[in-house]
Structures are given as structure tokens and as C-alpha cells.
Amino acid sequence: MSKVLLELKDLTIKFGGVTALNGVNLKIHEGEILALIGPNGAGKTTVFNVVTGVYQPTSGEVLLHGKSLKGVKRFNITKMGIARTFQNIRLFGDMTALENVITGTDVHKKSGLLGGLFGLPRARREEQAGRDKAHQILEFIGIDEYSDRLARNLPYGVQRRLEIARALGTEPKLIMLDEPAAGFNPAEKVELAKTIKKIRDAGYTVLLIEHDMSLIMGISDRVAVLDFGQKIADDLPTVVQNDQRVIEAYLGVPSDAS
């Protein structure tokens, strides 16, 4: 078994009288694709928001390589190696595809604002390195032909892929994809599945929220299931697919229903 990259320990988060996550324990191992599934409102995106520092847990903690992320600012969580995409596309529409990915690479720049303004050698080297890396990532994702086009003018499917490319630009250890297949047609989903496997095979760890069960079962190494903020299953895709608790959560029927 590979090393644990990220661990949620007894993670609970409450908003007023509503418990969004209730004592969730989850381990994500290096180099795997872990799918996090569940009915709408189960707490999946809340997990993403806690891991990336948008929300602070009411109790419990998130550990990255055994180090607690409690109180760590969102920018620093990104620098530590966690990147994400969103359900709703959040690109810089008036920037080109290449420039969007460069913003991801900026996370690790060491030259400051003044270095960029005055064109100091270190700043110039970092800028060129960022451009080169951004081109490599766009090619890796398969959308380098769109590098000079404004993000807002790109086809929807390309915009989705561009978000993934920008996240990869931050050099993440863990990339978290929130419903990346939303709005995709069947052919686009097939290509997305290939891309996610390619990302995993390149050495990244992937945490994935997705409602398309065919895609999930086809690419995931493991599947964890949330229902009303609690983890009800965590196993191989074939095992989870036949788990009666999971079936009940999705269908909303008791096991003895006719």
C-alpha cells in the first residue's frame, strides 16, 4: 500500500444547526484516483472546501503528509501541494489559455513584484520558465492549440480542461476535481476519463467528485460514499457499486422495500 498523502480525521463541520460533515474519516493514498460520491447535499463539496481552507472544521482535522492544515491560509495550502477545480468554471475570461495556466505557475515564483516591474534577471528567468511550463501542461492536457485564445471564447469542454491545466500549473501533489464532466457529452466524457488516468499515471494523486457513475466506476481505484455528511462506504468500485447502503442512499428506499 502506498503512503497516505491526505487524511481526514473525525472531520466535523457545522453551519448553525446544520451538520454538513459528521465525524468523517478518510485516507487518500499517493498515486491513486479516489472518487467521492453521494447524493446531492451529502457533503462532497464541503470536503473540498475544508481541505482547501475555505472552511475551518468545527472539530477534527485535515492532515497533509501528517501535517495539520488547521489555520493554514488558502494560498499556502496551494503552495503545499493541493489544487482544485470548481463545479462552476472560474477562469480569467479576458486572459488567454496560456496566461490562465501561467497564473497557476506563479504560486512558486520567488521574485517579487518589484523584480517583475524592473525586469530583473531572476524575474525574467522565472517568467520564461512559467511560459514554457504552461505550454507543456496545455500540450499534456491536449489543448495547446488554444493557447493564444481568450478563455471566454473557448468551447465549454476546452474551458473545463483549461481549469484542470491551471490547477496542474501549481505543481500539486493532490489535484481535486469537482464534477469535471458536468455538461459533457458521451464522447467528451470518454476523453476526460483518459485525461484523468493520464494525470494519475504522470504521478499525481486525484480526488474526484462526479455524478456520472459509468465514468467513476471506469477510472477510480477506490470509491468513498457520503450520505447526509457521514461516510457510509469506502472500498473498491465493484464492492461499493453493490453495497446496499449506497443503493438505498441513491434510491431513497429502505432495503426491505418491495
Q: What is the DSSP string of 181-196?
A: TTT--HHHHHHHHHHH
Asked, for residue 157, whether it belongs to a domain, the answer is: no
> Residues 143-196: pLDDT tens digits?
999 999 999 999 999 999 999 999 999 999 999 999 999 999 999 999 999 999
Asked, for residue 166, whether it belongs to a domain, the answer is: no
> Residues 2-48: pLDDT tens digits?
899 999 999 999 998 899 999 999 999 999 999 999 998 999 999 99
CATH classification of the domain holding 240: 3.40.50.300
Asked, for residue 181, whether it belongs to a domain, the answer is: no
**Domain containing residue 67:** 1-81+222-258
Asked, for residue 119, whether it belongs to a domain, the answer is: no
Domain count for the chain, please give it: 1
Cβ pair 163, 172 in contact under 8 A: no
Residue with cell 488558502: 74
> Is the pTM value of this prediction over 0.85?
yes
Q: What is the pLDDT of residue 125?
A: 76
C-alpha cell read off for 51: 481541505
Asked, for residue 8, whether it belongs to a domain, the answer is: yes
Asked, for residue 89, whether it belongs to a domain, the answer is: no
Asked, for residue 202, whether it belongs to a domain, the answer is: no
Asked, for residue 156, whether it belongs to a domain, the answer is: no
